Chains A and B, each alone.
Chain A
């Protein structure tokens, strides 16, 4: 009995003291057609740790990387292992909302902070908001809302919308319509995973819209954009996409056909701040490719953890103190300054970007202007958290 008490007492003692290292579980998609996205998040996160001399917040960092294989059940298993066996201090990395919704609750139930480098499904901004969730990217609707606002600003009267026939597809077009004031020429839902868009493109040509907005992530977007250009539609109809719809992972396989595409995002390679210049240069040097928005989010996730560990002076067992430090966002984000909303999702700027060529002839997303300043999300009023 005495020994047990002593052990408990020792545990408490250990809790109050600074930890000797930070353990981070990084679960992301590293195989299959979407591997490029997960690789960018992982590479950028590890880059931030490396630039920090292998430390986060002054403590030696151990990053445990796992591949969710684009499967929610695999993601959940990895989360169980990271949280319960590896006893990580932070969990991060997941790309897709469906995998995040299956896996992150493991962290929440065990009072482990999950820092999202991408997925931020709308329920988690509203009624299912959670004190242990910090979103280092953007709420799921935000890019689409910004695109809708841009279409309104440009005065498009008649916009044609295409998205896959599943929840995120419908959410995305709902986000677009929330800020788009013009008429909807048509709202077309295609099969998830569809690769050939000949029939849809013929309908677009016949409808003669002012603009076309598509939410077609990954391989679907690659095919659509190629076929859109091959059909000769790019000359007549402006194509708008969300920021991840024509980033480097799409630009690489599609090539010059992406030139002149407009999109909306919270970050860009040429955003002018010191942290971003350092990040872009270091990323390119380390990995011989340009970073995507996903990479910027992975990097920021690491910086967010770094700042929280630093500001709690390494007492990372005190989760409340860590949360407080995270909320302060006292770090140089590559997107520029931002703050967390009540639901711990970012309030930040969103920019209009266009695919251009840089001085070396490489394609990249150039910032054209600001669409939203200090933009939050539409769900925060449903969040009970203070």
Chain B
């Protein structure tokens, strides 16, 4: 096992973690501020990818297509909030789960009607090969772009939340909603804006991952589960928690898949190792979550003190 392999796997973990962060950031704010469980968050991720594929085809430019898909998804998200989800805030979590689960099914079928069951979003030609980061360490150029975009969005989000007035209101809402209301914060508008921002982040993740993965109906469901794991680990309502949680999940998952089977091979017979390695690797992030929750039931960085 060489250092180059470890470096490459760390980059993979970082890339995966940053994309998870984009999804988890929106989810954690909606959950933290509005006390709303939105299972349809993954549907916005899917819509972002489908919209990006359409816009890339229309404009002929990858960058323009992705940049158009982000506000379009944000508008869709806000429309969803204003028309439907707003009525769910007063209900209990079970009602929210049921309603947003129904929304997943409805959005999936609508997407199928509009786009068919899948769409394609080709990788920009200039980035479709590897670049040599260090001698002996080629890394896919497109994955590097994902890392750069992910870091940039994370920084932007950090700046918005900690340095701007809107960010202050968001933080106030997350740590004590009733008090923020009492202080005269326009919570309705704030909720709609937060929801739109969450949808925009979904679109960034969906559009950036689309050329690597597949743009297909149902792509949001699997990744949504991971996003929930991230926000539970990070602490609900905390952007910082979402970032740390996402990077932890990304790295643990990648390292687990890459090195656990090898590690097991050192201690067990090959037959046992080849069966147990992949099995443990696939549950490694859930083990991580269990351990974090055992020591810190509120998550690593709880928004409410």
Tell me the A residues contacting B by CB distance below 8 Å.
31-33, 35, 165, 187-191, 193, 195-196, 198-200, 202-203, 205-206, 219, 222-223, 226-227, 229-232, 253, 255
Contact A253 B120 (CB under 8 A): yes
A-B contact pairs, 10 of them (CB 8 A): A32-B217, A33-B216, A33-B218, A187-B274, A198-B143, A219-B216, A223-B213, A232-B138, A253-B120, A255-B122
Most chain A CB atoms below 10 A, which of B9, B219, B253, B257: B257
Q: Which residues of A contact B167 (CB under 8 A)?
A: none
Is the beta-carbon distance between A193 and B2 smaller than 8 angstroms? Answer: no
Q: Tell me if B212 and A199 are in contact (CB < 8 A).
A: no
Closest B residue to A206 using CB positions: B5
Shortest distance between the CB of B257 and any CB in chain A (Å) = 4
Whether the pair B130, A202 counts as a contact (CB closer than 8 A) is no
A223–B184 alpha-carbon span in the complex (Å)? 50
Cα A177 to Cα B282 in complex, Å, equals: 25
Question: When chains A and B are docked, how far (Å) is the Cα of A187 from the Cα of B273?
Answer: 11
Which B residues are in CB contact (< 8 Å) with A31? 112, 117
Given A32-B117, A187-B274, A255-B122, do A199 and B254 touch, yes or no (CB 8 Å)?
yes
249-304 of chain B: CB within 8 A of chain A? 253-254, 257-258, 261, 274, 278-279, 282
Contact check, A203 vs B258: say whether CB atoms are below 8 A apart: yes
Describe A's contact surface by its main secondary structure. helix
User: Does the CB pair A253–B214 fall under 8 Å?
Assistant: yes
State which size class the interface on B falls in: 35 or more
CA distance A144 to B228 in the complex (A): 39
Contacts of A202 in B (CB 8 A): 5, 8-9, 12, 258
> With A219-B214, A226-B123 given, can you name 8 additional A-B contacts, CB distance below 8 Å?
A33-B216, A188-B261, A188-B278, A196-B16, A206-B5, A222-B214, A229-B128, A255-B122
Task: List, in ascending order, chain B residues with CB within 8 A of A219's CB.
Answer: 214, 216
Flag if A199 contacts B214 (CB, 8 Å).
Answer: no
- Which residues of chain A come closer than 8 Å to B141, judged between CB atoms? 230
Measured between beta carbons, the chain A residues less than 8 angstroms from B16 are 196, 198
Chain A residues near B213: list those with CB within 8 A: 195-196, 223
Q: Which residues on the A side are within 8 Å of B219 (C-beta)? A: 195
Q: Which residues of A contact B118 (CB under 8 A)?
A: 33, 253
Closest chain B CB from A243 CB (angstroms): 21
Q: Could you tell me the distance between the alpha carbons of A227 and B209 in the complex, rounded to whole angstroms?
A: 12
A230 near B128: Cβ-Cβ < 8 Å: yes
Please report the C-alpha to C-alpha distance between residue A165 and residue B141 in the assembled complex, in whole angstroms.
29
Bound together, the chains give a CA A52 to CA B141 distance in angstroms of: 52
- The reply to whether A35 and B15 contact each other, CB–CB distance below 8 Å, is no
A203 x B128 contact (CB < 8 A): no
Q: Is the CB of A198 within 8 A of B15?
A: yes
Q: Nearest residue in A to B7 (C-beta to C-beta)? A: A202
* Contacting residues, chain A, for B117 (C-beta < 8 A): 31-33, 35
**Given A198-B12, A202-B5, A253-B118, are A223 and B214 neighbors across the interface (CB < 8 Å)?**
yes
0/1 interface trace, chain B 105-146, chain A, CB 8 Å (1 if under): 000000010000110101100001110000000111111000
Query: Are B140 and A231 within 8 A (Cβ)?
Result: yes
CB of B87 closer than 8 Å to a CB of A:
no
**Interface presence of B222 (CB below 8 A):** yes
